[in-house]
Amino acid sequence: MTLTRTLDFLNPERILRLDGLGRPSSLQKMAKEPDTEELLARAKTGDERAGVEAIARQRERLKRLLKHHIEPRLKARVDPSDVIQESMIVASQRLGEFFQQKNLPFYVWLRTLTLERLVDLRRAHVKAKRRSVAREERGVLSLPDESVAELASRLVDVTGDPRIGLMRDELRDRVRQAIQRLPPDDREVLVLRHLEQLSVAETAAALGTKETTVKVRALRALKKLRELLEEQ
């Protein structure tokens, strides 16, 4: 099988179908244990311990978030575990703000707080010029090389087709290069869906858009990725 032929397995519709677009991943199922909503309901009535436990249940997802987004220069100066702990403390102090939000997934709210903390640390340690939080967050979401490589691997591996065989590593490298050439908006939706493994609903909340728009953007991004691969 030629490497060009393997592009057939990067068909956008195929990836979205195999990825189960709209169906929570195993990571999301783990983060949404049956009693999390109950804990939040109790916290809303004033049970502080329940609120702390609900936040603690998201620790592993927050660890993965930082693993994907913390840049090497910053990681050399701060401990990711401290970033998570500080973010969780802030979350417990500001939990009332979450309860005032409508239809906002709990993890997305925690994710935003953690990224805000990452922005603050980036300003302090990497000495970035002070800009809006939105622009700073885009800077934070500029993936380290290792995370780009992991995203490429996931996009290739999601097909699970054994016929790719020994060409898998070469294909991953080509996908990695193509990802780096994608427009920021296209790259962002692929990062949220395929690297961070947010559900469609969570991705929509993180982007401030509708679930149908997320599906359209994801399909557009995958089509653009395939076009870039075909140009190589």
Please tell me the predicted confidence (pLDDT) of residue 147. 92
User: Are 179 and 152 contacting, i.e. CB atoms less than 8 angstroms apart?
Assistant: yes
Exposure class string for 37-60: b at 16+ Cβ within 10 A, else e: eebbebbeeeeeebbbbbbebbbe
Please tell me the predicted confidence (pLDDT) of residue 34. 45
State the Cα–Cα distance between residues 82 and 14, nearest whole angstrom: 40
For residues 26-48, average pLDDT: 74
Quote the pTM value.
0.80
Q: How does pLDDT run across 90-139, given as a tens digit for each residue?
A: 999 999 999 999 889 999 999 999 999 998 888 887 765 555 544 544 44
DSSP string, 79-120: -HHHHHHHHHHHHHHTHHHHHTSSS--HHHHHHHHHHHHHHH
For residues 34-54, average pLDDT: 90
- The percent of the chain in helix, strand and coil, each rounded to the nearest 5, is 75, 0, 25
Q: How does pLDDT run across 170-207, given as a tens digit for each residue?
A: 888 889 999 999 999 999 999 999 999 999 999 999 99
Please tell me the predicted confidence (pLDDT) of residue 74. 86
State the Cα–Cα distance between residues 4 and 157, nearest whole angstrom: 17
